[in-house]
Amino acid sequence: MKLHCDLCGNKSIFYNRTYEGVKFCKKCFKKNIKEKVRRNISKHSMLSHDDRVAVGVSGGKDSLALLSILHKLSRKHPRSELIAVTIDEGIKNYREEAIKLAKEFCKELGVEQFVFSFKELFGKTLDELVLEKKDELSECSYCGILRRRVLDEAGKRVKANKIVTAHNLDDEIQTFLLNVFHGGIERIARLNVQIPNGQNAFIRKIKPLSEVYEKEVALYAYVSELKFQTIPCPYAANCLRNDIRSMLNQLEEKHPGAKYSCYRSKERLTDVLKKHSGNLEIKNCRICKSPSSSDICEVCRTLCRVST
Ligand code: SF4
Ligand code: ZN
Q: 10 lies in a domain?
A: no
Residue 198: predicted pLDDT? 46
Q: 98 lies in a domain?
A: yes
Residue 156 in contact with residue 203, Cβ under 8 Å?
A: yes
Ligand 1 atom nearest residue 239's Cα: 2
pTM above 0.85, yes or no: yes
Label residue 194 by pLDDT band (50, 70, 90).
low
Q: 95 lies in a domain?
A: yes
Q: 306 lies in a domain?
A: no
Least confident of 62-76, 152-166, 277-291: 277-291
The answer, yes or no, to whether any atom of ligand 1 lies below 6 A from the CB of 29, is no
Quote the domain boundaries for residue 61: 31-281
Least confident of 83-87, 111-115, 135-139, 283-287: 135-139
User: Hey, which of 143, 239, 241 would you mutate to test ligand 1's pocket, going by the most ligand atoms within 8 Å of its Cβ?
Assistant: 143
Q: Which of 48-57, 265-274, 277-286 has the highest mean pLDDT?
A: 48-57
Percent of the chain with pLDDT over 90: 76
Ligand 1 atom nearest residue 126's Cα: 7
Q: 58 lies in a domain?
A: yes
Residue of the CA atom closest to atom 6 of ligand 1:
233
- Determine the Cα–Cα distance for residues 40 and 289; give it in Å rounded to an integer: 34
Q: 294 lies in a domain?
A: no
Q: Is the pLDDT of residue 4 over 50?
A: yes
Q: 239 lies in a domain?
A: yes
The answer, yes or no, to whether any atom of ligand 1 lies below 6 A from the CB of 5, is no
Q: What is the CATH number of the domain that holds 76?
A: 3.40.50.620
Q: 17 lies in a domain?
A: no
Name the domain count of the chain: 1
Q: What is the CA radius of gyration of the chain?
A: 20
Residue 127 in contact with residue 90, Cβ under 8 Å?
A: yes
The answer, yes or no, to whether any atom of ligand 1 lies below 6 A from the CB of 235, is yes
